[in-house]
């Protein structure tokens, strides 16, 4: 019997989010040149942001394989903040939310992106504008992925186009000292997922009784 498609809760995001980028803009209007967690090549523009500055820096540290404060201190990267109003997001921001929706919680932080890529394509086809999900790089942090093209606009102006996002570069520099110790690198267990699984085992034992 075929497994039914996941049914994530709809949510919205009306807040600021962060992204590192050494381009003139942190957003894409053309399809990404490389596949990512929630898109394959050919799926269309996909924007990856974090809801905290630390989350964004952690994504850079993980992507670059930086392992020490000395390596991190040599980074010189622009950090951007964007003011966003996204209405139709798939709410996978916790492992519990994914489990309840019927999507495998471990896929959210798996080093193999294939299950998220497949789900991202399905969500696009059903009219979702993006996904809120746990950060694979920084346990406890939440990432925001947006489907479709976006254009950076002036911070103090009301956007004219729906695809325009008020954006400003807030710094050029290095991640804060000490954050490298909290980053989860490729191949390492995810502390948040491990805690979630432990809690589920405890609940099952409690339900089974003495």
Domain locations along the chain: 9-208
Segments of 21-129 assigned E as strands: 46-50, 77-91
pLDDT > 60? residue 1: no
State whether residue 178 is helix, strand or coil: coil
Mean pLDDT for all residues in the chain: 94
**What pLDDT is attached to residue 178?**
93
pLDDT of residue 206: 73
Q: What is the DSSP letter of 189?
A: P
Distance from C-alpha of 6 to C-alpha of 43, rounded to nearest angstrom: 19
Residue 210: which pLDDT band, with cuts at 50, 70 and 90?
Answer: low
- What token pair was written down for 107? 């896929």
Provide the whole-model pTM: 0.93
> What average pLDDT score do residues 111-140 get?
98
pLDDT surpassing 90 at residue 205: no
Q: How far is CA 34 from the centre of its chain?
A: 16
pLDDT attached to residue 209: 60
Least confident of 27-31, 118-122, 187-191: 27-31
pLDDT at residue number 163: 85
Asked if residue 156 lies in contact with residue 56, where contact means CB atoms within 8 angstroms, the answer is: no
Least trusted range by pLDDT, from 23-32, 125-134, 151-160? 151-160
Look up tokens 């089974």; give the residue. Answer: 208
Q: Which uninterrupted H or E stretch holds 95? A: helix 95-101
Q: Tell me what the mean pLDDT of segment 86-103 comes to.
A: 97
| 137/148 Cα distance (integer angstroms) | 23
**Residue pLDDT, tens place only, 30-59:** 988 899 999 999 899 999 999 999 999 999
Half-sphere exposure of 184 (CA within 13 A, CB side): 20
* Residues sharing a CB contact under 8 Å with residue 91, sequence separation 6 or more, in sequence order: 8, 9, 10, 11, 97, 101, 132
At 96 the pLDDT is 97
Instruction: Please report which confidence band the pLDDT of residue 162 belongs to, taking 50, 70 and 90 as the band edges.
Output: confident
Confidence class for position 95, pLDDT limits 50, 70, 90: very high
Can you give 101-161 as a three-state secondary structure string?
A: HCCCHHHHHCCCCHHHHHHHHHHHHCCCCEEEEECCCCCCCEEEEEECCCEEECCCCCCCC
């Amino acid at each position: 019997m075929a497994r039914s498609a996941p049914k994530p809760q709809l949510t919205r995001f009306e807040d600021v989010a962060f992204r590192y980028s050494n381009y003139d803009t942190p957003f894409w209007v053309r399809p990404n040149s490389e596949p990512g967690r929630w898109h394959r090549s050919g799926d269309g523009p996909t924007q990856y942001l974090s809801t905290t500055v630390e989350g964004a820096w952690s994504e850079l540290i993980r992507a670059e394989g930086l392992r020490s404060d000395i390596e991190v201190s040599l980074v010189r990267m622009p950090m951007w903040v964007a003011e966003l109003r996204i209405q139709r997001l798939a709410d996978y921001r916790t492992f519990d939310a994914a489990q309840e929706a019927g999507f495998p919680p471990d896929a959210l932080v798996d080093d193999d992106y294939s299950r998220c890529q497949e789900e991202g394509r399905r969500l696009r086809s059903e009219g979702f504008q993006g996904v809120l999900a746990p950060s694979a790089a920084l346990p406890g942090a939440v990432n925001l992925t947006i489907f479709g093209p976006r254009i950076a606009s002036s911070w103090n102006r009301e956007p004219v186009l729906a695809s325009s996002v008020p954006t400003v570069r807030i710094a050029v520099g290095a991640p804060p000292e000490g954050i490298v110790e909290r980053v989860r690198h490729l191949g390492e267990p995810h502390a948040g997922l491990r805690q979630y699984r432990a809690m589920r085992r405890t609940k099952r034992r409690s339900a089974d009784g003495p």
